Amino acid sequence: MLDFTSLRRSDIPELVRITRENMAQIILSAWGVEWRDETLLETLMDANLLIEVALEGQKVVGYHVLDQMEDYIFIVSIQLEKQHQGKGLGRFMMERVEESAIRSGLEGVELCVQSTNEQAIGFYRHLGYRLASRRRNNLTMRKQFGLK
Ligand SMILES: CC(C)(COP(=O)(O)OP(=O)(O)OC[C@H]1O[C@@H](n2cnc3c(N)ncnc32)[C@H](O)[C@@H]1OP(=O)(O)O)[C@@H](O)C(=O)NCCC(=O)NCCS
């Protein structure tokens, strides 16, 4: 369904475009600040993070950024190009992350989502993620393997 590749320099402009289109309004509504490409570029350049770019054929359709913690995987970001949302690809990517965490013997998967991102919150809830904590407009959600 999707292929994955590690980040190539040539992918960066498209990943920035996809993310800006998805997130600028959400960040503005959650934090009252304008979108800055630089913040994302710093994340994409962080050698401690694992970035997988999702491809349909040769076309970049999305990516996720993962941080492997001691007991769980933290999803720093998951993004799909607007036209490719709502077709099961997000579930496919999340299941890939969860399978990798299970294979590594980890306890679960965790992520942060802005409280104004209702679409993503609904998506995560549907996939079994539950609210773990809330800090201002940031919700931490968690799926712990072995729990319903
Ligand atoms: C969030 C995102 C990754 C989800 O991926 P997607 O491809 O659109 O979602 P899918 O089509 O794979 O949906 C998977 C399942 O979740 C369900 N779902 C999706 N959104 C939902 C919602 N808001 N409420 C309830 N269920 C939802 C779907 O119906 C589907 O159900 P099924 O598999 O049981 O039939 C994608 O929409 C996206 O990139 N959004 C913009 C960026 C973003 O907000 N990222 C998260 C930042 S924290």
State the pLDDT at residue 148. Answer: 55
CATH superfamily of 3-144: Gcn5-related N-acetyltransferase (GNAT) (3.40.630.30)
Q: What letters, b where the CB count within 10 A reaches 16 and e where it falls short, cover 21-30? A: ebbeebbeeb
What is the CA(23)–ligand 1 centre distance, in A?
A: 14
| 62-114 pLDDT per residue, tens | 999 999 999 999 999 999 999 999 999 999 999 999 999 999 999 999 999 99
In this prediction, residue 141 has a pLDDT band, given cuts at 50, 70 and 90, of very high
State the pLDDT at residue 146. Answer: 81
Total-model pTM: 0.97
State the pLDDT at residue 84. Answer: 98
Residue extents of the structural domains in the chain = 3-144
The amino acid occupying position 3 is D
What is the CA(137)–ligand 1 centre distance, in A?
A: 20
Q: Which protein residue's CA is at the shortest distance from atom 22 of ligand 1?
A: 122
Q: 41, 32, 28: which is closest to 77 by C-alpha? A: 41
